[in-house]
């Protein structure tokens, strides 16, 4: 670039719009999107380490997609090329690829290609990139306002990480505005600009999450306001209202927001929420959606979701539609709103889906002949006897008579199931009675050879047989898997979350967290060195940026371990734990440790716990048949066992779910939900179990407890023999009490 070209470039940058001049240049200047750019998040770590793979940024306008790409351009050591898909075609793609190949061959340098508005390219243009992304010639960064799963080739999507950017918060927009007013180089730091608080709030509020919108409005306000006598540019609420008058509503009639908004509208109608339905419909009307499209969807809804619960709904909606066509806008909004409110408040039934069940039966079943008495008898009743035996309903009382209408092979098949809502509640019993009468009439006439489509009989379940069939060696693993699934349902871990597993152990929760939060980060705290080293060895199989961070130490050392990583202020979206208080009894943990754990949780984060409660565990005496023994011995053993679990000096059993809740609440947690499940499984009791319980001379853990409870040596030996005879090498039912808790 010559001196004159450089001068022109500097002049262009100086005269460019404020929103372009104020684009952040570094990670520290970047504002917002903390869910993907906050400390510890995968994308931030990848940018800092200059280890980017192909990326697609997806989000509304003004959320920082292009800006983020520019930050990457200023950070990476790779050659950076920018293309706008609106202006560029295959020629520009080929030139970029040629440059990338040359750089790699001559200098061994990677090339990052940023394509703005990537969804604007057609399939052929996108395909032109694919082989070069595949072989690593270029690292692709695409930005799009459209859903990449619909608008970008599947092959490119499958080779890229997708990050969704959200509308900026009001705090983000305020920070951007303040940066602009204080920046002397690119903003208005050299001007004496004073913006009144209510004026700034108006700009931020009406911009509706769009950084470009608030900067454009601020630029207009500053550039069109004259200096006062004191040399100060005063931005009042009146000036701000003139600069940006109408709230920006994100709505593209062919894009994601269009489909998402109509989906929210329909789901609000289905959920019988007239307030939400009116809101979503108002948003569509405000954004310029064609009311005919809304009427069309409401007409479908009247049949699909209201249906026979209120047969008048279809007439009301089509009547409102006709009125709208005659009136037009803006008065046509009255029938539009009337139809919306009627549908939202109407009883609901989707029983008309019976048609699709019938359609499916037609597709799958062998073609069935029309029963002879239902055939048209106008032409061949004499020759073939078609129509013979048909009973004319109007000739009977109540204009109904029991007779066969379905094909023989489908007798007894039910497609339509009336709901108990609205009008259908009135006809439900009558429909059932007539079906029963038709089936009874068919059987009484001797048509017993028909293939009935439904099975109308059942029998009690054989619980013993079912338990035997379900008995597997892997049942313990299956139970743990179910516990893990239930915990993650409560946790609702999202892809960008920061997750901490505070009692990692074997990694049961850690590896599931890694799968569920690939764009976030997972930290696992292992108390035992052997557990931690095993987790690290397993983690090495993953790419470096996708590995969990393994911390080895006790819960009391968590702050120190994070500080050693330079992350002393790191907070998490989710903190997970399994059996945290089994080794560290809740009564023995210092409150400040749990308080420190609460401080590690983001304001909207969740602490999710699976905790086995040993105090409510399986009692051994309940597994034994005492019918041949004295009742006195059985009672003494039962009493002794209960004494074991009532021992206040034993940290394993001297606490329960109430202690857990109280301990967490005293540390600053708020319990959102908790439930104690009695989970029934099976366990194989081996010789080793009996040996541990009773020892060689009745001095095992269980035998010693029986002795402390007052049982004689003879009685303990008798119990030992009984347990050995009935339990050794047997699979028994085993009940475990498990607490599922979510705190905030």
Kindly report the pTM of this predicted structure.
0.60
Instruction: Tell me the mean pLDDT in the region 696-709.
Output: 75
The single-letter DSSP state of residue 223 is: H
Per-residue model confidence (pLDDT) at position 706: 85
| Alpha-helical segments (H) within 56-196 | 65-75, 90-107, 123-134, 148-151, 154-158, 170-182
* Beta-bridge mates of residue 164: 58
Distance CA 585, CA 612 (A): 12
3-state secondary structure of 141: strand
Distance CA 649, CA 172 (A): 54
Per-residue model confidence (pLDDT) at position 470: 31
Which pairs count as long-range contacts for 200-205, CB under 8 Å and 24+ apart, including other chains? 200/174, 200/235, 200/240, 202/237, 202/240, 202/241, 202/244, 203/173, 203/177, 203/240, 203/243, 203/244, 204/170, 204/173, 204/174, 204/177, 205/170, 205/247
**713, 698 Cβ separation under 8 angstroms:** yes
Nearest alpha carbon to residue 525 among 545, 507, 544: 507
Distance CA 129, CA 139 (A): 10
The single-letter DSSP state of residue 254 is: T
Per-residue model confidence (pLDDT) at position 633: 85
- Three-state DSSP string of 186-222: CCCCCCCEEECHHHHHHHHHHHCCCHHHHHHHHHHHH
**283, 251 Cβ separation under 8 angstroms:** yes
Tokens 């008309």 sit on residue:
352
Nearest alpha carbon to residue 21 among 223, 197, 168, 298: 223
147-156, 278-287, 514-523: range with highest mean pLDDT: 514-523
Domains of the chain: 33-164 (3.40.50.300), 256-348 (1.20.272.10), 352-376+389-444 (1.10.3710.10), 477-613 (3.40.50.150), 616-649+687-728 (no CATH)
3-state secondary structure of 112: strand
Tokens 């550039």 sit on residue:
223
Per-residue model confidence (pLDDT) at position 722: 86
Nearest alpha carbon to residue 41 among 209, 164, 168: 164
Q: pLDDT digits over 633-672, tens only?
A: 888 888 888 887 877 777 777 778 888 888 888 888 999 9
**256, 152 Cβ separation under 8 angstroms:** no
Q: How many other CB atoms are found less than 10 A from the CB of residue 573? A: 23
Pairing relationship of beta strands 498-501 and 521-526 according to DSSP bridges: parallel
Nearest alpha carbon to residue 58 among 172, 205, 160: 160
Distance CA 502, CA 678 (A): 24
Distance CA 21, CA 136 (A): 33
Residue 688 makes CB contacts below 8 A (sequence gap 6+) with none
Distance CA 464, CA 580 (A): 35
Write the burial class of residue 4 (CB in 10 Å: 0-12 exposed, 13-18 middle, 19+ buried). Answer: exposed
Nearest alpha carbon to residue 302 among 354, 356, 258, 346: 346
Per-residue model confidence (pLDDT) at position 320: 92
Tokens representing 158 are 């499958």
Tokens representing 227 are 């200096």
Q: pLDDT digits over 712-737, tens only?
A: 888 888 888 888 888 888 778 888 88
Helix 274-286, helix 333-345: angle, nearest 10: 150
Is the model's pLDDT at 441 over the cut of 70?
no
Is the model's pLDDT at 418 over the cut of 80?
no
Write the burial class of residue 122 (CB in 10 Å: 0-12 exposed, 13-18 middle, 19+ buried). Answer: exposed
Tokens representing 687 are 């010789």
Distance CA 389, CA 79 (A): 86
Per-residue model confidence (pLDDT) at position 463: 36
Percent of the chain at pLDDT exceeding 90? 9
Pairing relationship of beta strands 521-526 and 601-612 according to DSSP bridges: unpaired
Tokens representing 481 are 């898997």
Distance CA 541, CA 521 (A): 16
| Alpha-helical segments (H) within 50-115 | 65-75, 90-107
Q: pLDDT digits over 540-569, tens only?
A: 877 888 889 999 988 888 999 999 988 988
Torsion on CA atoms 427, 431, 437, 441, rounded to nearest 10: 140
Tokens 């750019």 sit on residue:
37
Is the model's pLDDT at 173 over the cut of 90?
no
| Alpha-helical segments (H) within 603-646 | 631-645
Distance CA 562, CA 119 (A): 41
* Cα angle, residue 286 at apex, residues 282 and 292 outer, rounded to 5°: 75
9-18, 70-79, 379-388: range with highest mean pLDDT: 70-79
Instruction: Tell me the mean pLDDT in the region 602-616.
Output: 89
Per-residue model confidence (pLDDT) at position 353: 78
Per-residue model confidence (pLDDT) at position 454: 27
Per-residue model confidence (pLDDT) at position 572: 94
Distance CA 342, CA 521 (A): 48
Phi-psi region of 690 (alpha: psi -120 to 50; beta: other; left: phi over 0): alpha
* Beta-bridge mates of residue 144: 58
Question: Which of 123-132, 394-403, 523-532 shows the lowest per-residue confidence on average (mean pLDDT)?
Answer: 394-403
Instruction: Tell me the mean pLDDT in the region 149-153.
Output: 80
Whether omega for the bond prior to residue 552 falls within 30 degrees of 0, making it cis, is no
Helix 333-345, helix 291-301: angle, nearest 10: 20
Q: pLDDT digits over 451-510, tens only?
A: 322 222 333 333 332 332 233 233 445 667 788 888 999 999 998 899 999 988 878 888
Distance CA 460, CA 545 (A): 55
Per-residue model confidence (pLDDT) at position 299: 92
| Alpha-helical segments (H) within 396-493 | 422-444, 463-470, 475-491
Helix 211-223, helix 170-182: angle, nearest 10: 40
Per-residue model confidence (pLDDT) at position 86: 80
Q: pLDDT digits over 8-46, tens only?
A: 455 555 567 888 888 888 888 888 888 888 888 888 888
Per-residue model confidence (pLDDT) at position 383: 56
Is the model's pLDDT at 678 over the cut of 60?
yes
């Amino acid at each position: 670039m010559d001196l004159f070209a450089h001068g022109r470039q500097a002049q262009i940058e100086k005269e460019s719009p404020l929103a372009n001049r104020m684009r952040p240049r570094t990670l520290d200047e970047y504002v917002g999107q903390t869910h993907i750019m906050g400390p510890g998040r995968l994308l931030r770590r990848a940018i800092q380490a200059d280890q980017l793979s192909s990326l697609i940024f997806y989000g509304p306008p003004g959320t920082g997609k292009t800006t983020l790409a520019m930050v990457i351009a200023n950070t990476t050591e790779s050659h950076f090329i920018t293309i706008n898909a609106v202006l560029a075609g295959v020629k520009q793609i080929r030139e970029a690829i040629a440059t990338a190949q040359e750089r790699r061959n001559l200098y061994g340098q990677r090339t990052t290609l940023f394509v703005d508005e990537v969804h604007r390219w057609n399939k052929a243009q996108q395909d032109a990139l694919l082989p070069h992304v595949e072989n690593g010639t270029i690292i692709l960064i695409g930005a799009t306002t459209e859903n990449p799963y619909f608008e970008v080739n599947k092959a490119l999507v499958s080779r890229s990480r997708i990050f969704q950017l959200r509308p900026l918060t009001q705090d983000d927009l305020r920070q951007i505005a303040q940066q602009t007013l204080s920046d002397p180089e690119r903003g208005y730091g050299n001007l004496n600009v004073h913006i009144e608080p209510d004026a700034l709030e108006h700009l931020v509020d009406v911009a509706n999450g769009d950084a470009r919108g608030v900067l454009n409005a601020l630029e207009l306000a500053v550039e069109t306001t004259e200096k006062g006598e004191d040399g100060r540019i005063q931005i009042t609420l009146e000036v701000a209202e003139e600069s940006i008058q109408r709230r920006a509503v994100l709505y593209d009639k062919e894009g994601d927001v269009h489909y998402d908004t109509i989906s929210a509208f329909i789901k609000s109608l289905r959920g019988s929420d007239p307030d939400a339905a009116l809101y979503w419909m108002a948003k569509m009307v405000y954004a310029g959606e064609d009311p005919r499209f809304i009427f069309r969807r409401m007409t479908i809804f009247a049949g699909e979701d209201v249906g026979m619960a209120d047969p008048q709904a279809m007439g009301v909606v089509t009547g409102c539609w006709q009125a709208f066509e005659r009136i037009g806008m803006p008065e046509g909004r009255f029938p539009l709103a009337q139809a919306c409110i009627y549908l939202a408040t109407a009883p609901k039934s989707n029983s008309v889906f019976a048609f699709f069940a019938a359609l499916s039966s037609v597709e799958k079943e062998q073609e069935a002949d029309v029963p002879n008495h239902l055939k048209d008898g106008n032409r061949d009743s004499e020759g073939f006897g078609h129509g013979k035996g048909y009973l004319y309903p109007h000739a009977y009382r109540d204009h109904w008579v029991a007779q066969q209408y379905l094909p023989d092979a489908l007798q007894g098949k039910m497609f339509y199931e009336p709901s108990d809502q609205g009008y259908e509640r009135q006809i439900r019993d009558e429909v059932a009675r007539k079906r029963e009468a038709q089936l009874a009439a068919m059987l009484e006439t001797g048509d017993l050879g028909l293939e009935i489509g439904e099975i109308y009989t059942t029998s009690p379940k054989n619980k013993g047989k079912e338990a035997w069939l379900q008995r597997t060696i892997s049942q313990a693993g299956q139970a743990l898997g179910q516990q893990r699934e239930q915990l993650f349902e409560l946790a609702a871990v999202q892809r960008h979350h920061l997750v901490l597993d505070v009692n990692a152990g074997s990694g049961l929760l850690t590896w599931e967290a890694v799968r569920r939060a690939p764009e976030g980060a997972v930290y696992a705290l292992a108390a035992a060195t052997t557990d931690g080293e095993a987790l690290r060895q397993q983690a090495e199989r993953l790419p470096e940026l996708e590995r969990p961070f393994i911390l080895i130490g006790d819960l009391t050392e968590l702050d120190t371990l994070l500080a050693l990583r330079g992350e002393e202020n790191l907070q998490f979206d989710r903190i997970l734990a399994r059996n945290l208080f089994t080794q560290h009894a809740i009564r023995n943990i210092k409150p400040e440790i749990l308080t420190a754990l609460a401080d590690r949780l983001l304001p909207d984060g969740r602490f999710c716990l699976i905790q086995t409660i040993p105090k409510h565990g399986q009692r051994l005496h309940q597994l034994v048949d005492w019918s041949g023994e004295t009742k006195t011995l059985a009672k003494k053993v039962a009493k002794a066992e209960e004494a074991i679990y009532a021992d206040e000096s034993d940290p394993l059993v001297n606490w329960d779910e109430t202690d857990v809740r109280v301990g967490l609440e005293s540390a600053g947690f708020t319990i959102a939900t908790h439930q104690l499940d009695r989970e029934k499984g099976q366990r194989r009791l081996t010789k080793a179990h009996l040996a541990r319980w009773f020892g060689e001379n009745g001095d095992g853990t269980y035998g010693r407890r029986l002795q402390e409870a007052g049982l004689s040596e003879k009685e303990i030996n008798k119990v030992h023999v009984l347990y050995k005879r009935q339990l050794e090498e047997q699979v028994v039912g085993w009940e475990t009490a498990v607490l599922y808790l979510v705190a905030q």
